[in-house]
Amino acid sequence: MSERDRDSSATGREIGDELKRFRVGAGLLAADLADMLGCSASKISRMESGVRGYSELDVTMYLASCRASREDVVRMLDLVREQADGYRVRPHREKLPDELRSLIVAETLASSIIEFEPQIIPGILQIEDYARAVFRWYGQFDENGIADRVKARLKRVADLALDGGQSREWLAALASEYEQAKDDTR
């Protein structure tokens, strides 16, 4: 576990990753932003690594300096307010976020993922057709919403496939055999 992981919460790392994305998107170096805000570059670094706590004022000034939209500022301030325990992956709202940031941050920093789904194959093991069928069965999304969610799920899976996806394919095959065996016993 890295120093960053020990000294920061999952939500803090998510906020930090988002802040850095805004700074880089604005074409600013950490030192440039620090000069604009009248603080040290190390404060910017600590904010972006999730080590330093966030005040609403700090985040607002940071984002304003990066020319973030009002909508983005409001969304980020919501994240700052949600930092209560820092270890809960926050639920996403009705509209699918660009990349399910909180889940992706948590998954990519995890050394292992243990998930038990007695009724369906876990999301990170699902293939495209199966994922699409699960979202259709759920019945909460139109075809565009389903397509967005399937695309996001497959991107998450690809991002986690550090070994070229071989272990995922093996686990998906194992899950498929299990489902077939379960059907055969009925």
CATH code of residue 43 = 1.10.260.40
90-95: list long-range contacts, CB under 8 Å, 24+ apart: 90/11
Number of domains making up the chain:
2
Q: Which domain holds residue 176?
A: 108-184
- pLDDT for 27 equals 96
Determine, yes or no, domain membership for 48. yes
- pLDDT for 132 equals 92
- pLDDT for 53 equals 75
Residue 51 structure tokens: 């080590």
Q: Are residues 128 and 64 in the same domain?
A: no
Q: What angle is formed at CA 134 by the lines to CA 128 and CA 139, rounded to 5 degrees? A: 130
- pLDDT for 120 equals 82
- pLDDT for 23 equals 96
Determine, yes or no, domain membership for 125. yes
pTM value surpassing 0.75: no
- pLDDT for 162 equals 55
Determine, yes or no, domain membership for 86. no
Determine, yes or no, domain membership for 159. yes
Instruction: Report d(CA 144, CA 150) in Å as an integer.
Output: 10
The list of the chain residues with pLDDT below 50 reads 1-6, 85-89, 98-99
Residue 112 structure tokens: 């292992």
- pLDDT for 1 equals 40
- pLDDT for 121 equals 80
- pLDDT for 154 equals 85
